[in-house]
Structure 1
């Protein structure tokens, strides 16, 4: 059975597609067979990333390890039973088709609540939730008091993950390993940063997720997208000397991959 990684957060701009592409490419470079599904059927950032990568490989003649991005299959609506949702069948059919030939299936969810996203979360063996270091983004996970010091209750996204966990338990599947990844954390010591750290740690104990370091805000990610490249590809395309920012970004990726604790994965880049 393929290990299913779902990258989800109902708020846009948290870095889901950047995380998805780097995780998928890192696994592919390690020799794993990685299949990807982009559930943002309108924007398709992950899908565009993979298409850009394929075009760059064809034009440059380089051999770069890559994930294979697949579209959801079409389903004949006439075959559905009353009350059945066509998106449930499209996603389950895609996963069933990819599982026999994949070590990992990575599913990139849209930055909004959709039926596809909801079903994908219930399929996750590992759930990665990128989170910007801001109480605006944190509010998606939990509500806090005015001072940001006390959690008053879980929010909509945490409740959706809880429901997904319940569905997996009822089906006899292993629990979701939920990982929250803090992105764009400031390098300087700031009051907001310290409050966020305390809040995330408190919530982790309360609702049951692990915390791993994410990516800092770096221009390099925006520069890599048009060619479908990742930090791991820089030397392959002829960058002989990485600058300090790029070296730091690679270390962040290394720490992130180690923190995910994916089965059979030894981080050696």
Structure 2
């Protein structure tokens, strides 16, 4: 069966779609078959990323590895079992339609709580939660005391992940490997950066996730999105000499892929 990767949190602007596209493209480039779904049915950032990539390939005639995107299938009401949620059924059918052909299925969730996102988390073998490196986004994981930064308890999102883990355990499935990815780290405000790092590490032991380095804030990501490209495509489109920022960003992706510890994946790019 395909290994299911879910990219999710309940905050916008944390780099979910950028993370999802780079992970999916890296896997395809390493020879794996990857199917992808975008559960943000309104914004569709991840879907547009793939669409932009397909348009770039068609326009320029450059053969670039591309994950196989699929929309959620439409379902007739009479196809539902009594009491079955239509979104549950659509997601289930999409996954079933890809899992026989794909080594990995990557699902990008919206930056809000939805029924689709909740169900997707229960399917996750690997859960990637991008987190901006600030205490504003740290609130996604836990409630903290404003004066001491002491953790008071898990957030609503952390409780949702806990519930997803419980459902998987009852179904006899393996535990979710939850990886929190620290995005938009920067050299400024080093004292605050250390406080966030310490808080995330302390919380990881309490509620059970691993911490991985993510992507810094770089212009290259915003420039690549309209063309559906990733850092790994630069040489294919004629960028022979990478600047220091591009090299550093490529190394960030390499480190992230190693830290994900996906089954059967040897990071070579």
Structure 2, unpaired ranges of 5+: none
Say if 1:148 and 1:199, in contact at 8 Å, map to a contact too.
no
CA shift at 1:222, angstroms?
0.4
Residue of structure 2 in register with 1:197 after alignment: 197
Q: Which residue of 2 aligns with 1:265?
A: 265
Equivalent residues in 2 for 1:103-118 (5 A)?
103-118=103-118
Distance in 2 separating the partners of 1:130 and 1:7: 8
Partner of 1:216: 216
Partner of 1:14 in structure 2? 14
| Aligned counterparts of 1:167 and 1:107: Cα–Cα separation in 2 | 19
| SS of equivalent to 2:236 | helix
Secondary structure, aligned partner of 2:100: helix
1:84 to partner: Cα distance: 1.7
**In the alignment, what sits opposite 2:180?**
180
- SS of residue matched to 1:87: helix
- Please name the residue that 2:61 is paired with: 61
Per-residue CA deviation, residues 196-241 of structure 1 (Å, 9 max, x unaligned), is 1111011100000000000000000000001100000000100011
Pairwise CA RMSD of aligned residues? 0.9
- How far apart, CA to CA, are the structure 1 residues paired with 2:41 and 2:23? 21
Between the aligned partners of 2:140 and 2:54, the Cα distance in structure 1 is: 35
Structure 2 distance, partners of 1:79, 1:94, is: 15
Q: What number of residue pairs does the alignment pair up? A: 269
Unaligned runs of 5+ in 1: none
Alpha-carbon deviation of 1:78?
Answer: 2.4
Aligned equivalents of 2:164, 2:136: Cα separation in 1: 24
Structure 2 Cα separation of the partners of residues 105 and 185 of structure 1: 28
* CA distances 1:58-77 after superposition (whole Å, capped 9, x unpaired): 11111100101100011111
Q: What is aligned with 1:240?
A: 240
Counterparts of 1:12 and 1:81, CA distance in 2 = 34
Deviations 1:148-178 (A, max 9, x none): 5310000011000000000000000000000
Question: What is the alpha-carbon distance in structure 2 between the residues aligned to residue 117 and residue 199 of structure 1?
Answer: 26
TM-score normalised by structure 1 residue count? 0.98
